Amino acid sequence: MADASKSLNSNFEAVISAAELEDGELLHAEIDSMRKIAMHAGLTNSSDKLNLSYLENPNGYLNALKFGIRSYDHYDNLLLMMGSAISRLYTIAADQPEWKNNEDKEQIENFISKINSLTSSEIEH
């Protein structure tokens, strides 16, 4: 994979404001903490422990379930946005003369096809 230290400067103008970007990052952090709670509970290897947890704290248990659903929806939307960003980056790269000799070309193009098929099926539903 590419070396992150060789990444582009972040000197881009986003289609959202700086405040919206910051709010989004705060939301991602909040959702990630919800995801951790849901996954920690949901990946427990004992149904007996889960049942006991529900009996001891039904509200907390149901909150973990709701956190999981909210996290799933959030990451689903985030993946669609990330797919769009990757596709935009690819569009410019693929138009460059050097692209045909890029050592990662096949891997990237396969990934782009995957993104496009997922995005298309999401749009159809």
Reported pTM: 0.67
Instruction: Calculate mean pLDDT across residues 41-50.
Output: 91
In this model, does residue 55 exceed pLDDT 70? Answer: yes
- What residue segments make up the domains of the chain, in order of their start? 25-124
Q: pLDDT class for 125, splitting at 50, 70, 90?
A: very low
Predicted local confidence at residue 119, as pLDDT: 59
Structure tokens at 36: 């951790």
Maximum CA pair distance of the chain? 64
Phi/psi at 89 (5° precision):
-60, -40
* Contact yes or no for 87/112 (Cβ under 8 A): yes
Both tokens assigned to 5: 């230290």
- Write the pLDDT tens digit of every residue in 26-35: 999 999 999 9
Write down the residue that tokens 């995005």 correspond to: 119
Mean pLDDT within 47-62: 94
Residue pair 69/41 in contact by the 8 Å Cβ criterion: no
Confidence at residue 9, expressed as pLDDT on a 0 to 100 scale: 64
Q: Give the pLDDT of residue 17.
A: 83
What confidence score (pLDDT) does residue 23 get? 92
Q: Going along 26-74, which residue ranges are E strands?
A: none
Between CA 120 and CA 84 the distance in angstroms is: 11
- For the chain, what is the mean pLDDT? 84
Instruction: Of 82, 83, 90, give the one whose Cα is nearest residue 107.
Output: 90
